């Protein structure tokens, strides 16, 4: 049984048909290759638990509970499950607590996106996190830099969430002249645009409405800005001819920029971005990009000037990025590792019940 914080049903269909890279659906449809059938729990259906969740979102209780609707549906169908996989830590806290109490014996595996040592009154929650981790058969993280509170080291596993390289290859990427950027979480488009203006750098910015600022006014002709939501496939088609991909991020404690990193790796583009807790790749050491610290106008200006003066080396960075993804950091590796973890947890659980 699979839990997530939004419905993946359409994404899985689009991934199967090639309209979407399969990492955006966590490669779930490929689990069948490893002998697993799965049921994806559907969210936001009318009912009492749906209204409880809306109330809890507003009240923000001290004890993390997770989504009531999701967990209630899991408990109703638990007899049919060999293992529970939660793709987001926000969905399953009650299941973790019930596992500690012995009310659930089915293995529980949870993917943690964000550090656990942030938030209000966090120090007082350490006993809750201890119980949470005791109720986990395996705790998965995208990055070794993600902090877990009271974790069980033996159960903590890094799983690299990389791109669907076949999908990006099908787009037939080429190298143009513009530095392009897209994204919706924790972005600093303002500093990036100002640096593009000062360095006369051709650029394209795909930006959600909430990130609009004064920097989007009086834009020179060599900078193109598109405001509003676009489908991932449309964004990928526009990124395919970029010279490099920029991921300008604000200073933050949360995982951000990982989806855009997958785009850059899959398309074979040099990467310009700050360090982020959810990404533990050293892009400079790998020779696939340059690190620019957050809110750093001069850093972005220097990076853009370097790109303009070193086109061939920038293209070579992109080629290295694609090679790295193909060998070490892609969606096939991710889902195979997930399947191995699922199998191991099921086997261990079966052994204990004999």
Domain harbouring 250, CATH code? 3.40.50.2000
Task: Assess whether 137 and 179 both reside in one domain.
Answer: no
Q: Taking all residues of the chain, what is their mean pLDDT, rounded to a whole number? A: 95
Enter the tokens of residue 300: 């972005």
Task: Assess whether 110 and 216 both reside in one domain.
Answer: no
Band of residue 354 on the pLDDT scale cut at 50, 70, 90: very low
Percent of the chain with pLDDT over 90: 90
Interval 85-95: pLDDT, tens: 999 999 999 99
Residue 353, pLDDT > 70, answer no
pLDDT for 351: 62
Please state the rounded mean pLDDT for residues 48-53.
Answer: 92
Domain count, the chain: 2
Please state the rounded mean pLDDT for residues 295-300.
Answer: 96
Task: Assess whether 194 and 211 both reside in one domain.
Answer: yes
Please state the rounded mean pLDDT for residues 214-235.
Answer: 91
Residue 343's domain spans which residues? 2-162+331-353
pLDDT for 25: 98
CA distance readout (Å), 341 to 150, 159, 338 = 21, 10, 5
Interval 241-250: pLDDT, tens: 999 999 999 9
Task: Count the Cβ atoms, other than its own, within 10 Å of residue 126.
Answer: 13
Band of residue 325 on the pLDDT scale cut at 50, 70, 90: very high
Enter the tokens of residue 233: 């496939």
Q: Please tell me whether residue 291 adopts helix, strand or coil conformation.
A: strand
Task: Assess whether 274 and 335 both reside in one domain.
Answer: no
Residue 57, pLDDT > 80, answer yes
Task: Assess whether 20 and 101 both reside in one domain.
Answer: yes
Task: Assess whether 208 and 108 both reside in one domain.
Answer: no
Interval 199-210: pLDDT, tens: 999 999 999 887
Task: Assess whether 169 and 311 both reside in one domain.
Answer: yes
Task: Assess whether 146 and 244 both reside in one domain.
Answer: no
Q: How far is it, in rounded angstroms, from Cα 22 to Cα 232?
A: 12
Task: Assess whether 155 and 179 both reside in one domain.
Answer: no
Residue 265, pLDDT > 60, answer yes
Interval 97-127: pLDDT, tens: 999 999 999 999 999 999 999 876 788 899 9
Residue 225, pLDDT > 50, answer yes
CA distance readout (Å), 201 to 145, 196, 273 = 33, 5, 16
Q: What is the CATH number of the domain that holds 48?
A: 3.40.50
18 or 120, which is more confident:
18
Task: Assess whether 194 and 304 both reside in one domain.
Answer: yes
Q: How far is it, in rounded angstroms, from Cα 62 to Cα 187?
A: 29
Q: How far is CA 350 from the centre of its chain?
A: 32
Task: Assess whether 143 and 263 both reside in one domain.
Answer: no
Task: Assess whether 182 and 299 both reside in one domain.
Answer: yes
Band of residue 260 on the pLDDT scale cut at 50, 70, 90: very high
Helices (H) and strands (E) in the chain, counts: 12, 11
Band of residue 318 on the pLDDT scale cut at 50, 70, 90: very high
């Amino acid at each position: 049984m699979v839990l997530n914080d939004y419905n993946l049903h359409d994404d899985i269909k689009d991934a199967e048909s090639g309209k979407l890279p399969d990492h955006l659906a966590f490669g779930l449809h490929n689990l069948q290759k490893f002998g697993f059938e799965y049921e994806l729990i559907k969210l936001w259906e009318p009912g009492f638990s749906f209204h409880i969740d809306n109330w809890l979102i507003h009240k923000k209780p001290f004890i993390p509970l997770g989504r009531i609707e999701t967990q209630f549906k899991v408990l109703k169908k638990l007899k049919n499950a060999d293992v529970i996989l939660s793709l987001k830590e926000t969905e399953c806290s009650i299941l973790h607590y019930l596992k500690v109490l012995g009310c659930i014996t089915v293995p529980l595996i949870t993917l943690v996106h964000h550090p656990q040592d942030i938030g209000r009154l966090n120090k007082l929650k350490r006993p809750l996190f201890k119980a949470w981790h005791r109720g986990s058969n395996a705790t998965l993280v995208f990055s070794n830099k993600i902090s877990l509170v009271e974790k069980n080291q033996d159960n903590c596993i890094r799983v690299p969430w990389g791109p669907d390289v076949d999908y990006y290859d099908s787009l037939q990427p080429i190298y143009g002249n513009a530095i392009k950027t897209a994204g919706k979480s924790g972005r600093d488009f303002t500093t990036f645009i100002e640096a593009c203006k000062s360095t006369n750098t051709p650029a394209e910015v795909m930006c959600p409405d909430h990130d609009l600022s004064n920097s989007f006014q009086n834009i020179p002709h060599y900078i193109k800005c598109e405001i509003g939501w676009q489908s991932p496939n449309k964004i990928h088609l526009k990124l395919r001819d970029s010279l490099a991909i920029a991921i300008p991020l604000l200073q933050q404690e949360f995982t951000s920029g990982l989806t855009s990193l997958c785009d850059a790796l899959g398309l074979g583009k040099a990467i310009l971005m700050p360090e982020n807790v959810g990404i533990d790749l050293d892009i400079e050491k790998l020779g696939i990009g340059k690190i620019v610290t957050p809110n750093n106008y001069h850093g972005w200006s220097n990076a853009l000037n370097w790109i303009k003066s070193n086109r061939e080396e920038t293209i070579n960075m992109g080629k290295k990025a694609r090679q790295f993804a193909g060998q070490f950091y892609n969606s096939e590796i991710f889902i195979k590792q997930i399947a191995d973890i699922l199998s191991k947890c099921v086997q261990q659980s079966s052994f204990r019940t004999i």
